[in-house]
Protein backbone atom coordinates (compact mmCIF):
# COMPACT_ATOMS: atom_id res chain seq x y z
CA UNK A 1 0.00 0.00 0.00
CA UNK A 2 1.46 3.33 -0.98
CA UNK A 3 -0.90 6.16 -0.09
CA UNK A 4 2.07 8.49 0.15
CA UNK A 5 2.35 8.44 -3.64
CA UNK A 6 -0.50 10.95 -3.77
CA UNK A 7 -1.12 12.80 -0.53
CA UNK A 8 -3.68 15.55 -1.09
CA UNK A 9 -4.22 17.46 2.13
CA UNK A 10 -7.46 18.49 3.77
CA UNK A 11 -6.48 22.12 3.22
CA UNK A 12 -6.27 21.54 -0.53
CA UNK A 13 -9.68 19.86 -0.42
CA UNK A 14 -11.09 22.88 1.40
CA UNK A 15 -9.58 25.17 -1.22
CA UNK A 16 -11.11 23.25 -4.11
CA UNK A 17 -14.52 23.20 -2.44
CA UNK A 18 -14.28 26.90 -1.67
CA UNK A 19 -17.08 27.73 -4.19
CA UNK A 20 -19.59 25.85 -2.01
CA UNK A 21 -18.18 26.83 1.39
CA UNK A 22 -21.03 29.25 2.11
CA UNK A 23 -23.55 26.66 0.97
CA UNK A 24 -22.02 24.09 3.35
CA UNK A 25 -22.35 26.56 6.20
CA UNK A 26 -25.96 27.03 5.22
CA UNK A 27 -26.43 23.25 5.32
CA UNK A 28 -25.18 23.28 8.92
CA UNK A 29 -27.56 26.12 9.78
CA UNK A 30 -30.43 24.22 8.17
CA UNK A 31 -29.55 21.13 10.21
CA UNK A 32 -29.53 23.14 13.44
CA UNK A 33 -32.81 24.85 12.52
CA UNK A 34 -34.65 21.64 11.69
CA UNK A 35 -33.64 19.74 14.84
CA UNK A 36 -35.43 22.36 16.93
CA UNK A 37 -38.29 20.93 18.94
CA UNK A 38 -40.35 21.67 22.04
CA UNK A 39 -38.90 18.39 23.33
CA UNK A 40 -35.64 19.85 24.65
CA UNK A 41 -33.57 16.67 24.39
CA UNK A 42 -34.00 16.57 20.59
CA UNK A 43 -32.05 19.79 19.83
CA UNK A 44 -29.61 18.87 22.61
CA UNK A 45 -28.67 15.62 20.87
CA UNK A 46 -28.85 17.30 17.46
CA UNK A 47 -26.41 20.05 18.37
CA UNK A 48 -24.09 17.55 20.02
CA UNK A 49 -24.02 15.36 16.93
CA UNK A 50 -23.63 18.37 14.61
CA UNK A 51 -20.65 19.65 16.61
CA UNK A 52 -18.84 16.30 16.58
CA UNK A 53 -17.03 17.21 13.38
CA UNK A 54 -17.14 15.47 10.03
CA UNK A 55 -16.03 16.77 6.67
CA UNK A 56 -19.52 17.06 5.12
CA UNK A 57 -18.20 15.29 2.03
CA UNK A 58 -21.61 13.99 0.95
CA UNK A 59 -23.39 17.34 0.90
CA UNK A 60 -20.29 18.88 -0.71
CA UNK A 61 -20.51 16.31 -3.53
CA UNK A 62 -24.16 17.21 -4.13
CA UNK A 63 -23.45 20.95 -4.09
CA UNK A 64 -20.44 20.71 -6.41
CA UNK A 65 -22.24 18.34 -8.79
CA UNK A 66 -25.07 20.88 -8.98
CA UNK A 67 -22.51 23.59 -9.83
CA UNK A 68 -20.97 21.42 -12.51
CA UNK A 69 -24.47 20.83 -13.89
CA UNK A 70 -25.04 24.58 -14.16
CA UNK A 71 -27.38 24.99 -11.18
CA UNK A 72 -26.87 27.68 -8.50
CA UNK A 73 -30.32 27.94 -6.88
CA UNK A 74 -31.44 27.30 -3.31
CA UNK A 75 -32.69 23.76 -3.83
CA UNK A 76 -29.12 22.41 -3.80
CA UNK A 77 -28.69 23.49 -0.15
CA UNK A 78 -32.06 21.99 0.75
CA UNK A 79 -31.26 18.60 -0.75
CA UNK A 80 -27.73 18.69 0.70
CA UNK A 81 -29.38 19.22 4.10
CA UNK A 82 -31.64 16.24 3.48
CA UNK A 83 -28.57 14.13 2.72
CA UNK A 84 -26.91 15.30 5.94
CA UNK A 85 -30.00 14.30 7.93
CA UNK A 86 -30.02 10.83 6.35
CA UNK A 87 -26.30 10.32 6.86
CA UNK A 88 -26.42 11.48 10.48
CA UNK A 89 -29.33 9.14 11.19
CA UNK A 90 -27.33 6.20 9.86
CA UNK A 91 -24.34 7.13 12.05
CA UNK A 92 -26.49 7.41 15.16
CA UNK A 93 -28.09 4.03 14.55
CA UNK A 94 -24.80 2.40 13.52
CA UNK A 95 -23.12 3.43 16.76
CA UNK A 96 -25.94 1.88 18.78
CA UNK A 97 -25.85 -1.37 16.80
CA UNK A 98 -22.05 -1.55 16.94
CA UNK A 99 -22.02 -0.61 20.64
CA UNK A 100 -19.38 1.97 19.72
CA UNK A 101 -18.49 4.19 22.66
CA UNK A 102 -16.71 6.84 20.58
CA UNK A 103 -17.58 8.85 17.48
CA UNK A 104 -14.71 10.99 16.11
CA UNK A 105 -12.92 10.97 19.45
CA UNK A 106 -15.95 11.96 21.55
CA UNK A 107 -18.61 10.00 23.36
CA UNK A 108 -21.13 8.60 20.90
CA UNK A 109 -24.62 10.04 21.34
CA UNK A 110 -26.03 6.81 22.77
CA UNK A 111 -23.22 6.65 25.33
CA UNK A 112 -24.40 10.00 26.68
CA UNK A 113 -28.19 9.73 26.27
CA UNK A 114 -28.77 5.97 26.21
CA UNK A 115 -29.97 3.65 23.46
CA UNK A 116 -33.71 4.29 23.80
CA UNK A 117 -33.57 8.04 23.33
CA UNK A 118 -30.87 7.88 20.67
CA UNK A 119 -32.55 5.32 18.43
CA UNK A 120 -35.70 7.46 18.48
CA UNK A 121 -33.59 10.51 17.65
CA UNK A 122 -32.27 8.62 14.63
CA UNK A 123 -35.86 7.91 13.59
CA UNK A 124 -36.62 11.62 14.03
CA UNK A 125 -33.78 12.48 11.65
CA UNK A 126 -34.98 10.03 8.98
CA UNK A 127 -38.51 11.43 9.11
CA UNK A 128 -37.23 15.00 9.17
CA UNK A 129 -35.18 14.34 6.05
CA UNK A 130 -38.24 13.20 4.11
CA UNK A 131 -40.37 16.02 5.51
CA UNK A 132 -37.78 18.49 4.27
CA UNK A 133 -37.56 16.84 0.85
CA UNK A 134 -41.35 16.98 0.52
CA UNK A 135 -41.29 20.78 0.65
CA UNK A 136 -40.17 20.52 -2.99
CA UNK A 137 -42.21 19.17 -5.89
CA UNK A 138 -39.61 16.93 -7.51
CA UNK A 139 -41.14 13.47 -7.18
CA UNK A 140 -38.22 11.90 -9.06
CA UNK A 141 -35.67 13.17 -6.51
CA UNK A 142 -37.89 12.16 -3.58
CA UNK A 143 -38.18 8.65 -5.03
CA UNK A 144 -34.39 8.50 -5.34
CA UNK A 145 -33.92 9.66 -1.73
CA UNK A 146 -36.40 7.05 -0.47
CA UNK A 147 -34.74 4.32 -2.53
CA UNK A 148 -31.26 5.19 -1.25
CA UNK A 149 -32.49 5.34 2.37
CA UNK A 150 -34.20 1.96 2.06
CA UNK A 151 -31.00 0.44 0.65
CA UNK A 152 -29.04 1.82 3.61
CA UNK A 153 -31.44 0.22 6.09
CA UNK A 154 -31.40 -3.04 4.11
CA UNK A 155 -27.61 -2.93 4.20
CA UNK A 156 -27.62 -2.51 7.97
CA UNK A 157 -30.01 -5.44 8.37
CA UNK A 158 -27.99 -7.60 5.96
CA UNK A 159 -24.76 -6.77 7.78
CA UNK A 160 -26.33 -7.76 11.08
CA UNK A 161 -27.23 -11.18 9.62
CA UNK A 162 -23.56 -11.56 8.65
CA UNK A 163 -22.07 -10.37 11.95
CA UNK A 164 -19.63 -12.97 13.24
CA UNK A 165 -19.64 -14.89 9.94
CA UNK A 166 -15.97 -15.61 9.23
CA UNK A 167 -16.65 -17.26 5.86
CA UNK A 168 -18.08 -14.07 4.34
CA UNK A 169 -17.36 -13.87 0.62
CA UNK A 170 -15.93 -10.83 -1.10
CA UNK A 171 -19.17 -10.38 -3.06
CA UNK A 172 -21.28 -10.54 0.11
CA UNK A 173 -19.02 -7.92 1.66
CA UNK A 174 -19.31 -5.67 -1.39
CA UNK A 175 -23.09 -6.02 -1.28
CA UNK A 176 -23.04 -4.59 2.25
CA UNK A 177 -20.72 -1.76 1.18
CA UNK A 178 -22.89 -0.90 -1.81
CA UNK A 179 -25.99 -0.62 0.32
CA UNK A 180 -24.56 1.04 3.42
CA UNK A 181 -22.18 3.52 1.80
CA UNK A 182 -21.93 3.65 -1.98
CA UNK A 183 -25.58 4.28 -2.87
CA UNK A 184 -25.79 7.40 -0.69
CA UNK A 185 -22.71 8.90 -2.36
CA UNK A 186 -24.23 7.96 -5.73
CA UNK A 187 -27.51 9.63 -4.82
CA UNK A 188 -25.69 12.81 -3.72
CA UNK A 189 -23.92 13.17 -7.05
CA UNK A 190 -26.94 12.29 -9.18
CA UNK A 191 -29.32 14.64 -7.34
CA UNK A 192 -26.85 17.49 -7.89
CA UNK A 193 -26.93 16.73 -11.60
CA UNK A 194 -30.72 16.40 -11.69
CA UNK A 195 -31.04 20.00 -10.51
CA UNK A 196 -29.34 21.34 -13.64
CA UNK A 197 -29.99 21.01 -17.37
CA UNK A 198 -28.26 17.64 -17.71
CA UNK A 199 -28.88 14.69 -20.00
CA UNK A 200 -29.94 11.30 -18.69
CA UNK A 201 -26.47 10.02 -19.60
CA UNK A 202 -24.81 12.74 -17.53
CA UNK A 203 -27.04 11.97 -14.56
CA UNK A 204 -26.11 8.30 -14.78
CA UNK A 205 -22.44 9.27 -15.06
CA UNK A 206 -22.79 11.22 -11.80
CA UNK A 207 -24.44 8.19 -10.17
CA UNK A 208 -21.46 6.11 -11.31
CA UNK A 209 -19.05 8.74 -10.00
CA UNK A 210 -20.65 8.82 -6.54
CA UNK A 211 -21.02 5.05 -6.39
CA UNK A 212 -17.33 4.49 -7.10
CA UNK A 213 -16.27 7.13 -4.56
CA UNK A 214 -18.49 5.48 -1.96
CA UNK A 215 -16.95 2.05 -2.57
CA UNK A 216 -13.43 3.47 -2.34
CA UNK A 217 -14.36 5.49 0.77
CA UNK A 218 -15.53 2.39 2.66
CA UNK A 219 -12.59 0.23 1.60
CA UNK A 220 -10.18 2.90 2.83
CA UNK A 221 -12.21 3.17 6.04
CA UNK A 222 -11.82 -0.59 6.53
CA UNK A 223 -8.08 -0.34 5.86
CA UNK A 224 -7.69 2.37 8.48
CA UNK A 225 -8.78 -0.17 11.08
CA UNK A 226 -5.40 -1.82 10.49
CA UNK A 227 -3.20 1.03 9.23
CA UNK A 228 -4.52 4.06 11.14
CA UNK A 229 -3.57 5.43 14.52
CA UNK A 230 -6.15 5.42 17.30
CA UNK A 231 -5.65 9.12 18.09
CA UNK A 232 -6.22 10.12 14.45
CA UNK A 233 -9.19 7.81 13.95
CA UNK A 234 -10.99 8.87 17.11
CA UNK A 235 -11.92 5.25 17.77
CA UNK A 236 -10.12 2.11 18.95
CA UNK A 237 -8.12 0.22 16.32
CA UNK A 238 -9.21 -3.32 15.49
CA UNK A 239 -12.81 -2.30 16.08
CA UNK A 240 -14.29 -4.08 13.05
CA UNK A 241 -13.09 -7.51 14.10
CA UNK A 242 -14.16 -6.90 17.68
CA UNK A 243 -17.63 -6.06 16.36
CA UNK A 244 -17.70 -9.26 14.32
CA UNK A 245 -17.31 -7.53 10.94
CA UNK A 246 -15.28 -9.09 8.16
CA UNK A 247 -13.69 -6.52 5.84
CA UNK A 248 -11.85 -6.82 2.52
CA UNK A 249 -8.27 -7.14 3.86
CA UNK A 250 -9.24 -9.98 6.23
CA UNK A 251 -11.42 -11.71 3.61
CA UNK A 252 -8.42 -11.68 1.24
CA UNK A 253 -6.09 -12.97 3.99
CA UNK A 254 -8.33 -15.94 4.76
CA UNK A 255 -8.86 -16.71 1.06
CA UNK A 256 -5.19 -17.66 0.91
CA UNK A 257 -5.81 -20.66 3.14
CA UNK A 258 -3.59 -19.69 6.07
CA UNK A 259 -4.84 -21.89 8.93
CA UNK A 260 -3.04 -19.89 11.60
CA UNK A 261 -4.64 -16.66 10.41
CA UNK A 262 -8.09 -18.25 10.27
CA UNK A 263 -7.77 -19.66 13.79
CA UNK A 264 -6.78 -16.27 15.17
CA UNK A 265 -9.53 -14.39 13.31
CA UNK A 266 -12.14 -16.91 14.47
CA UNK A 267 -10.96 -16.48 18.07
CA UNK A 268 -11.24 -12.69 17.90
CA UNK A 269 -14.65 -12.86 16.23
CA UNK A 270 -15.89 -15.36 18.82
CA UNK A 271 -14.54 -13.49 21.86
CA UNK A 272 -15.44 -10.04 20.47
CA UNK A 273 -12.14 -8.87 21.89
CA UNK A 274 -8.59 -8.45 20.64
CA UNK A 275 -5.37 -7.92 22.53
CA UNK A 276 -2.72 -5.57 21.24
CA UNK A 277 -0.48 -8.57 20.50
CA UNK A 278 -3.22 -10.31 18.53
CA UNK A 279 -3.92 -7.12 16.60
CA UNK A 280 -0.23 -6.73 15.76
CA UNK A 281 -0.05 -10.37 14.65
CA UNK A 282 -3.06 -10.00 12.36
CA UNK A 283 -1.65 -6.77 10.98
CA UNK A 284 1.67 -8.53 10.28
CA UNK A 285 -0.17 -11.38 8.50
CA UNK A 286 -2.11 -8.87 6.41
CA UNK A 287 1.14 -7.22 5.38
CA UNK A 288 2.92 -10.49 4.52
CA UNK A 289 -0.02 -11.80 2.50
CA UNK A 290 -0.23 -8.43 0.67
CA UNK A 291 -3.88 -8.24 1.73
CA UNK A 292 -3.45 -4.55 2.60
CA UNK A 293 -2.05 -3.96 -0.90
CA UNK A 294 -4.90 -5.93 -2.43
CA UNK A 295 -7.57 -3.88 -0.69
CA UNK A 296 -5.81 -0.61 -1.50
CA UNK A 297 -5.50 -1.60 -5.16
CA UNK A 298 -9.22 -2.37 -5.20
CA UNK A 299 -9.93 1.11 -3.82
CA UNK A 300 -7.69 2.58 -6.54
CA UNK A 301 -9.75 0.80 -9.21
CA UNK A 302 -12.94 2.37 -7.86
CA UNK A 303 -11.23 5.77 -7.76
CA UNK A 304 -10.24 5.47 -11.41
CA UNK A 305 -13.83 4.52 -12.23
CA UNK A 306 -15.06 7.67 -10.48
CA UNK A 307 -12.67 9.90 -12.43
CA UNK A 308 -13.59 8.26 -15.73
CA UNK A 309 -17.28 8.93 -15.15
CA UNK A 310 -16.64 12.69 -14.93
CA UNK A 311 -15.53 12.80 -18.56
CA UNK A 312 -19.25 13.06 -19.38
CA UNK A 313 -18.85 16.76 -18.44
CA UNK A 314 -16.62 19.44 -19.98
CA UNK A 315 -13.64 20.70 -17.92
CA UNK A 316 -14.42 23.44 -15.42
CA UNK A 317 -13.49 24.32 -11.78
CA UNK A 318 -16.38 22.27 -10.35
CA UNK A 319 -15.29 19.21 -12.32
CA UNK A 320 -11.69 19.78 -11.16
CA UNK A 321 -12.84 19.68 -7.53
CA UNK A 322 -14.84 16.50 -8.06
CA UNK A 323 -11.91 14.98 -9.98
CA UNK A 324 -9.64 15.67 -7.00
CA UNK A 325 -11.94 14.18 -4.37
CA UNK A 326 -11.20 10.51 -5.17
CA UNK A 327 -7.47 11.08 -4.53
CA UNK A 328 -8.33 12.70 -1.21
CA UNK A 329 -10.45 9.66 -0.29
CA UNK A 330 -7.47 7.39 -0.95
CA UNK A 331 -5.11 9.47 1.17
CA UNK A 332 -7.24 10.15 4.24
CA UNK A 333 -6.06 8.98 7.65
CA UNK A 334 -9.35 9.21 9.57
Q: How many domains does the chain have?
A: 1
Q: Are 235 and 102 in contact (CB under 8 A)?
A: yes
Q: What is the 3-state secondary structure (H, E, C) of 233-257?
A: HCCCCCHHHHCCCCCHHHHHHHHCC
pLDDT per residue rounded down to tens, the chain (334 residues): 444 444 556 677 778 788 899 999 999 999 999 999 999 999 999 989 988 766 789 999 999 999 999 998 999 999 999 999 999 999 999 989 988 887 777 889 999 999 999 999 999 999 999 999 999 889 999 999 999 999 999 999 999 999 999 999 999 999 999 999 999 999 999 999 999 999 999 999 999 999 999 999 999 999 998 887 654 544 566 789 989 999 999 999 999 998 999 999 999 999 988 888 999 899 999 999 999 999 999 999 999 999 999 999 999 999 999 999 999 999 886 6
Q: Are 142 and 134 in contact (CB under 8 A)?
A: yes
3-state helix, strand, coil in the chain (%, to 5): 75, 0, 25
Q: Are 172 and 162 in contact (CB under 8 A)?
A: yes
Global model pTM greater than 0.95: no
Question: CA–CA distance from 125 to each of 240, 255, 307 (Å)?
Answer: 26, 40, 32
Detail the DSSP E strand segments found in 173-246.
none
The full DSSP string for 72-99 is: -STHHHHHHHHHHHHHHHHHHHHHHHHT
The pLDDT assigned to 102 comes to: 79
What CATH number does residue 123 fall under? 1.10.600.10
Parent domain of 69: 3-331
Q: Are 25 and 60 in contact (CB under 8 A)?
A: no
Amino acid sequence: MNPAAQKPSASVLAQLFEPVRDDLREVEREFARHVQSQIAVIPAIGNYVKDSGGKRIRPAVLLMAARMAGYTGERAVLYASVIEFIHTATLVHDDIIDEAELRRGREAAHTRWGNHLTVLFGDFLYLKSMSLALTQDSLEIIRLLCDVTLRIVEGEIYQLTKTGVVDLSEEEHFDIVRRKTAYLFAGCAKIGGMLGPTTREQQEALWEYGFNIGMAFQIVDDLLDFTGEEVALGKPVGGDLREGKMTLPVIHLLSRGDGVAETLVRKVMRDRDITIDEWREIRSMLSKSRSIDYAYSTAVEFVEGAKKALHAFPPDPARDALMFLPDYVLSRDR
